[in-house]
Amino acid sequence: MSTDLSKAPVAEEPRASMSITAAKLPRQAPLLVGVIAIAIALFCWQIMSWPLVGSAIVGGLVYLVVLPAWSLAVEGRRGATDRMMTGLIWSTFVVAMVPLVSLIYTVVDRGRGVINTEFLTYSLFATQLDQPPGIYHAIMGTLIITVGAAIISIPIGVLAAIYLVEYGKGNRLARVVTFLVDVMTGIPSIVAGLFAFALFTLLFGADFQGGVGGSVALSLLMIPIVVRATEEMLRLVPDELREAAYALGTPKWRTIVKVVLPTTLGGIITGVTLAIARVIGETAPLLLIAGLAAKTNTNPFDGAMTTLPVQIFSFNSDQETIPLAWGAALVLIVIVLVLNLVARVIGRFYAPKTGN
């Protein structure tokens, strides 16, 4: 009787145990390395008397080197790469925030001492012997000239962007307009001021000064920003929305007004706000055409009109009025901040509603 050896049971080899989780650094490892880096930076600054910036750079380099090296020994190459890229991203964020925070802190620290009711409600034109100096005339001039520039720039910029996106695809005129917008984006502000000065000199004579000239100069700087921002927002609208409106028999102009623009209104408002923030601090073009006055002038078509940047420039020329320049700079920053907050609220209110 023969036996079939091929059917004999074979003993299974024991399987090696495999872990489904890789080794990882402790949760507090970045904090620990950060404390070490800060300690080294403080040692270089206080003990070795290195400059503060150099000590901070040394501390940052220690963090960027030690944490990935530790991760390489424990987590492997992939984990070390992730730690290194995360550290680089946060480092660039800190580097970008340091000058901004330093600027805001300096302006607030030096300018808050002169901010009071008289400083905001009086002008430099003294009607009493004991009248304190103020910047009310500059605040009004800034608002009037900036609003005038926005009235000129927003319709032109939005309509130009609508033409480029909705009507001018592949058109030679559209390519020319795009090229001119790109050129206008890079022109210096003094060139815009020279253009406005030459234009109003030809129209009204060499002695003309007025807020309307400043509005025209600033509009040359605002228009390309508004065009680019609006153009990018319009390109984000899906073509399916336009085609659905056309399928219902809606004319093209009504589709743009009722479908396209409401969809992009939040982005357009953000672009307009960026354009206003770009020009509200301009000084050179307004020195040429708007001039400098001590009285409050609310008529942009008659007489010189002072803005906050021009007044800051004037204050900075005298050692005694430099604190007033810091106060005016703080007011200008607050105005820009308020404009941005208002734009965000309006943009969120008019943003397209999303359903579940």
With contact defined as beta carbons under 8 Å apart, do 146 and 216 qualify? no
User: What CATH number is associated with residue 243?
Assistant: 1.10.3720.10
Mean pLDDT of 47-57: 89
Residue 284 and residue 233 in one domain: yes
Q: Could you report the per-residue pLDDT of 317-354, keeping only the tens digit for each?
A: 878 889 999 999 999 999 988 888 888 887 777 766 65
Q: How far apart are CA 154 and CA 269, in angstroms?
A: 10
What range does the domain containing 239 cover? 136-349
Lowest mean pLDDT across 230-244, 278-292, 334-348: 334-348
Q: Return the HEC string of 245-294.
A: HHHCCCCHHHHHHHHHHHHHHHHHHHHHHHHHHHHCCCCHHHHHHCCCCC
Residue 20 lies in a domain: no
Q: How far apart are CA 79 and CA 18, in angstroms?
A: 20
N-terminal to C-terminal alpha carbon distance within the chain? 77
Residue 142 and residue 105 in one domain: no
Residue 153 and residue 101 in one domain: no
Residue 154, judged by CB atoms within 10 A of its CB (0-12, 13-18, 19+), counts as: buried
Pick from 148, 153, 279: nearest CA to 227: 153
Residue 123 lies in a domain: no
Residue 156 and residue 258 in one domain: yes
pLDDT band at 18 (very low <50, low <70, confident <90, very high): very low
| Mean of the per-residue pLDDT values of the chain | 86
Q: Could you report the per-residue pLDDT of 129-152, keeping only the tens digit for each?
A: 778 888 999 999 999 999 999 999
pTM for the predicted model, two decimal places: 0.80
How many degrees, rounded to 5, is the angle at CA 165 between CA 160 and CA 170? 105
Q: Which of 113, 147, 168 is the last residue of a domain?
A: 113
Secondary element (H or E) of residue 29: helix 29-42
Residue 8 lies in a domain: no
Domain count, the chain: 2
Residue 242 and residue 154 in one domain: yes
Can you give the pLDDT at residue 21? 60
Residue type, 141: G
